[in-house]
Amino acid sequence: MDPTARCTGCGRPRAECDGCARELDPPRFCPTCGTRLAVVVTPAGYRGRCREHGPVVTGRS
Amino acid sequence: MEQVTFTPRRGRVEAIEPLDADEARRAIHAAEAALLDERRMLDGDELATLARVPDESVPALAALAHQVRLAWCGPQVEVEGILSAKTGGCPEDCHFCSQSSAFDTPVKATPFLDTDEVLAAAQETAALGASEFCIVLAIKGPDERTMQRILELVPIVKERTGLNVAVSAGILSEDQARRLAEGGVHRYNHNLETARSHFSRIVTTHTWDERADTCALVRRYGMELCCGVLLGMGETTEQRVELLLQLREVDPAEVPVNFLNPRPGTPLGDMPLTEPLEAIRWIALCRLALPSVILRYAGGREVTLRDLQALGMTSGINALIVGNYLTTLGRSPEEDLQMLADLRMPVGALSAAI
Ligand code: SF4
Ligand SMILES: [Zn+2]
Ligand SMILES: [Zn+2]
């Protein structure tokens, strides 16, 4: 389990993508397994949940 | 589904001959006399002429728009927070939208948030000094279950946060509009997005006329109408002027101005951003066409305007969405509130009845 294995912008392995999320886009893919996250964006923050790995990303605006 | 092919254009609309400097100065003076002295609205020809001022005259156009905003609306700036309470999986095919199920985008569909989550987001919004909170659902229109959820949430949010509650839930029936109004919905958001003549290139699952019908219902049942635009979808200058005149017909209390932030996976994913000065020109024209509306900075402003964000505030804008958007992030609320403080613009609720 490597929580930096995947690009959170596209879900591909780090070897294939070194990070492609646009500025002001929240993470959309699990950094561990690369599946799409259920992301909740609120006025002051965001949180992303992986079906396998639970709540994996949080942040502010 | 029909595939749209967009000829890539630069981030500004060309093909029209700009006015020369003298013509531009005269057109701006004439608009000033109309809007500030005579207190009358500009007509379509006058707006089309102003749309042609050269780049060098855009700051003068913007300065007039700021005067018009102060004269017609006062100095107050309204701050709002928005929440996507049901994200993605939308059956509509709006070609700019990452929440449509018609396109393969990174946005995963998530169900309606529960009451505690919505309330927490509203409390965040209140803590940022906002007066309005908009609950947004990615749906064609509300089914009965959704209606009940909305009608249950609105009074709770209102009571617990003191915020005005706005809702955006797509196309409404007459009965739904009435129930939402009775249920305490302060404003209902339903954007025209683009000119009627351009709409079928952007959306094929419903018509512009259906949108205009919902806008009319919102007003008929006494909610304030929030009806926005999304610029930068390949529309022409003429179509932008057309849109401004169509907005006038639906007569909104509030107009959120969005600029396309091209979303990966959508048909408009490769469109260029609107150029910053072009965005300022059209913010100013929105104000000159709609002198008394609440003109709100909305999605795409950070990536489109970059360092010109403060200039928009003196080009006719008198409201903003603070913090994050529906599926994308905004700049930090502290930066926006600092910008307003630096501009000495007081924050407060605005109303259609000003
Ligand atoms: S109706 Fe709204 S959520 Fe659905 S595709 Fe259109 S813009 Fe997106
Ligand atoms: Zn990537
Ligand atoms: Zn995972």
Cβ of B202 less than 6 Å from ligand 1: no
Place of tokens 């608009």: B31
Give domain limits for chain A: 14-59
The answer, yes or no, to whether residue B77 has pLDDT greater than 50, is: yes
B194 Cα: distance to centroid of ligand 3 (angstroms): 39
For residue B57, tell me if it sits in a domain.
Answer: no
Under the banding of pLDDT at 50, 70 and 90, the label for residue B351 is confident
- Percentage of chain B lying above the pLDDT 70 cut: 95
For residue B321, tell me if it sits in a domain.
Answer: yes
Instruction: Using an 8 Å CB-CB cutoff, list chain B residues near A42.
Output: 83, 120-121, 124, 323-324
Average pLDDT over every residue of B219-234? 98
The answer, yes or no, to whether residue B162 has pLDDT greater than 90, is: yes
Under the banding of pLDDT at 50, 70 and 90, the label for residue B281 is very high
How does the average pLDDT of chain A come out, rounded?
A: 93
Looking at residue A21, its pLDDT comes to: 87
The answer, yes or no, to whether residue A61 has pLDDT greater than 80, is: no
All residues at 6 or more sequence positions from B104 whose CB lies less than 8 Å from its CB, including other chains: B265
Cβ of B100 less than 6 Å from ligand 1: yes
Q: Which domain holds residue B294?
A: 67-342
Domain count, chain B: 1
For residue B300, tell me if it sits in a domain.
Answer: yes
Tell me how long chain B is.
354
Question: In angstroms, rounded to a whole number, what is the distance separating the alpha carbons of residues B54 and B14?
Answer: 11
Average pLDDT over every residue of B228-236? 97
Instruction: Using an 8 Å CB-CB cutoff, list chain A residues near B110.
Output: 38-40
Average pLDDT over every residue of B208-217? 98
All residues at 6 or more sequence positions from B225 whose CB lies less than 8 Å from its CB, including other chains: B187, B188, B190, B215, B218, B219, B250, B251, B252, B253, B254
- Ligand 1, residues B97, B134, B172, B210: which to mutate, most atoms within 8 A of Cβ? B97
Under the banding of pLDDT at 50, 70 and 90, the label for residue B5 is very low
DSSP B126: H
Under the banding of pLDDT at 50, 70 and 90, the label for residue B56 is very high
B97 HSE (CA, 13 A, CB side): 23
The pair of structure tokens assigned to B304 is: 């489109």
All residues at 6 or more sequence positions from B162 whose CB lies less than 8 Å from its CB, including other chains: B126
Compute φ and ψ for A34, nearest 5 degrees.
80, 10
Average pLDDT over every residue of A1-16? 92
Q: Could you tell me which residue, B72 or B354, shows the higher pLDDT?
A: B72
Is B340 within 8 Å of B318 (Cβ atoms)?
no
B330:A61 CB<8 A: yes
For residue B264, tell me if it sits in a domain.
Answer: yes
CB pairs under 8 A between A and B: 81
The pair of structure tokens assigned to B73 is: 């609306």
DSSP helix/strand/coil, B251: coil
Looking at residue A2, its pLDDT comes to: 86
Average pLDDT over every residue of A31-48? 96
Q: What is the CATH number of the domain that holds B262?
A: 3.20.20.70
A58 Cα: distance to centroid of ligand 1 (angstroms): 25
Report the alpha-carbon angle A47-A53-A54, nearest 5: 40
Question: In angstroms, rounded to a whole number, what is the distance separating the alpha carbons of residues B36 and B293?
Answer: 15
Average pLDDT over every residue of B250-260? 97
For residue B269, tell me if it sits in a domain.
Answer: yes
Looking at residue A3, its pLDDT comes to: 84
Cα B322 from chain centre: 13
Q: Could you tell me which residue, A23 or B92, shows the higher pLDDT?
A: B92
Is B65 within 8 Å of B288 (Cβ atoms)?
yes
Is A28 within 8 Å of A19 (Cβ atoms)?
no
Average pLDDT over every residue of B101-111? 96
Under the banding of pLDDT at 50, 70 and 90, the label for residue B210 is very high
Looking at residue B15, its pLDDT comes to: 61
Q: Could you tell me which residue, B10 or B350, shows the higher pLDDT?
A: B350
Query: What are B299-340's pLDDT values in tens digits?
Result: 899 999 999 999 999 999 999 999 999 999 999 999 999 999
The answer, yes or no, to whether residue B275 has pLDDT greater than 50, is: yes
How does the average pLDDT of chain B come out, rounded?
A: 94
Question: In angstroms, rounded to a whole number, what is the distance separating the alpha carbons of residues B264 and B333?
Answer: 26
Question: In angstroms, rounded to a whole number, what is the distance separating the alpha carbons of residues A50 and A41?
Answer: 15
Query: What are B25-45's pLDDT values in tens digits?
Result: 999 999 999 999 999 999 999
A38 Cα: distance to centroid of ligand 3 (angstroms): 11
For residue B223, tell me if it sits in a domain.
Answer: yes
Under the banding of pLDDT at 50, 70 and 90, the label for residue B11 is very low
- Which helix (H) or strand (E) covers residue B145, if one does? helix B144-161
Question: In angstroms, rounded to a whole number, what is the distance separating the alpha carbons of residues B68 and B291?
Answer: 6
Is B118 within 8 Å of B110 (Cβ atoms)?
no
Q: Tell whether A57 lies on the interface with B, counting CB pairs under 8 A.
A: no
A39:B107 CB<8 A: yes
The answer, yes or no, to whether residue B13 has pLDDT greater than 80, is: no
Q: Tell whether A61 lies on the interface with B, counting CB pairs under 8 A.
A: yes
Query: What are B129-147's pLDDT values in tens digits?
Result: 999 999 999 999 999 999 9
Under the banding of pLDDT at 50, 70 and 90, the label for residue B285 is very high
DSSP B17: P
Mutate which of B136, B329, B331, B334 to disrupt the A interface (most A C-beta within 10 Å)? B329
The answer, yes or no, to whether residue B9 has pLDDT greater than 60, is: no
B87:A24 CB<8 A: no
Query: What is the pTM assigned to this prediction?
Result: 0.94
User: What's the farthest any 2 CA atoms get from each other in chain B?
Assistant: 60
Q: Which ligand is nearest to the CA of A19?
A: 2
| Closest CA of chain A from B301, distance in Å | 11
A16 Cα: distance to centroid of ligand 2 (angstroms): 8
Looking at residue B352, its pLDDT comes to: 60
A37:B108 CB<8 A: yes
ipTM of this complex? 0.95
Q: How crowded is residue B134: how many other Cβ atoms within 10 Å of its Cβ?
A: 28
Is B291 within 8 Å of B41 (Cβ atoms)?
yes
Is B97 within 8 Å of B263 (Cβ atoms)?
yes
Is B79 within 8 Å of B251 (Cβ atoms)?
no
